[in-house]
A and B are shown apart, each in its own frame.
Chain A
């Protein structure tokens, strides 16, 4: 369920790092908690992100939920798929429904995030 090569936050975002670029998304747990996702608000390419600060928001039929950036850096790509098919976040949160790609400015931050095993035990304690 939770890929081993991802790192996870307590706010239920995931990040996958390749070289100096991090792909960011929300976890399967997050999408399940939200329910039917109908709208995704993402930053523009070029925006500077700070770890732990608001990256955007995801809205389900019922509620709005903030997304926090798991890493610091510059947004270099935004997933355009979500503008027209926000429901893909319910279907493939760890796959083609990633949110943004960020060029890391502080690669060490990754170490502060949870492994897949840690995240799953975190979920176990908090649900």
Chain B
């Protein structure tokens, strides 16, 4: 029996298989983890341009005169601050302050918001938003209508610009525009999950393969590489971008996850606000902090962290950093220890290995 038959596939699945990508089960999706190699793909994004199929991500649309009211009542950041054509990273929380998901809210116009959510959370997110909707706004599960391709790296703009008349340079970071790519309608957002400049384009699924191939051609002169989830993970970790199920989840709050900046206490009520306000006044007890291995070994997801010989926390994400050539990671520690410069030990296969807490992000691109 072929288990991959039970997995969900993106419109680019046959392309990945044709291009001999190594495929894995990623939260129920048959996705490429690597093409040529994680390090090579990672470096292509840092130095030139890389192409990612992120069509597994979900889309939810909110429409109607009360669209903003609904968006703002279920998210932590202030959606009222968005202008049409602007996007915002924000939290979708439970009443107790833990994460349902971390999401990107795009304001299309006063009566339409477009939300990009994590693949494995999309049905849950949709049901949650619909259930919490006490407004006249309509909530639509729109994932089937979109494929999503990320073009990331310092050469992303020149690569994508070859295929579109939509001027890309005027689109600011975390802004988007509805235009065209290779003659077909596309929502073009200057967003990404790599820490580099780049774009995420939303297109009709049936157009995905043609656009993928054209992007590879357009980027060939810069050394474009198709990239898998492996490089996506090393890139986002260096940039300290949270991954649901690792840095954030139902039992972790934005304040603990060092994401206080997405929580706007001065806006109208939102789900989770009172729990977060209580946590803020009582003070958090644990906090996310970066680390670098100083001993030999790699601290990886789920490994225990020791402080002064006693278990004190856990690694949320860890691995080699191809850009820095160090072994890096993120971990939760008691708040009093969660500051840079602290010696910690990570239990690697029952052996304590020394590491030191550091400021993050590990990598920040030159502007």
Contacts and interface: CB of A to CB of B under 8 A. Distances in A.
Dominant SS among interface residues on chain B? mixed
Given A35-B34, A35-B37, A41 B297 contact: yes
Contact of B39 (A36, A59, A64): A36
Interface string A83-120: 00000000000000000000000000000000000000
Contacts of B11: none
Given A35-B22, A35-B37, A35-B38, A61 B300 contact: no
B18 interface: no
A2 interface: no
A93 to B, nearest CB: 15
Given A36-B37, A36-B38, A61 B349 contact: no
A61 B319 contact: yes
A122 B38 CA distance: 27
Contact of A62 (B40, B230, B297, B349): B230
Interface string B311-336: 00000000110100001000000000
Contact of A59 (B22, B33, B234, B298): B298
Given A36-B39, A61-B320, A61-B322, 17 more contacts: A35-B34, A35-B38, A36-B40, A39-B320, A39-B327, A41-B297, A57-B349, A59-B298, A61-B39, A61-B230, A61-B234, A61-B319, A62-B38, A62-B230, A62-B233, A62-B319, A64-B300
21 contacts: A35-B37, A35-B38, A36-B38, A36-B40, A38-B320, A39-B296, A39-B320, A41-B296, A41-B349, A57-B349, A59-B298, A61-B38, A61-B39, A61-B234, A61-B320, A61-B322, A62-B33, A62-B38, A62-B230, A62-B319, A64-B349
Interface of B: 22, 33-34, 37-40, 230, 233-234, 296-298, 300, 319-320, 322, 327, 349
Interface of A: 35-36, 38-39, 41, 57, 59-62, 64
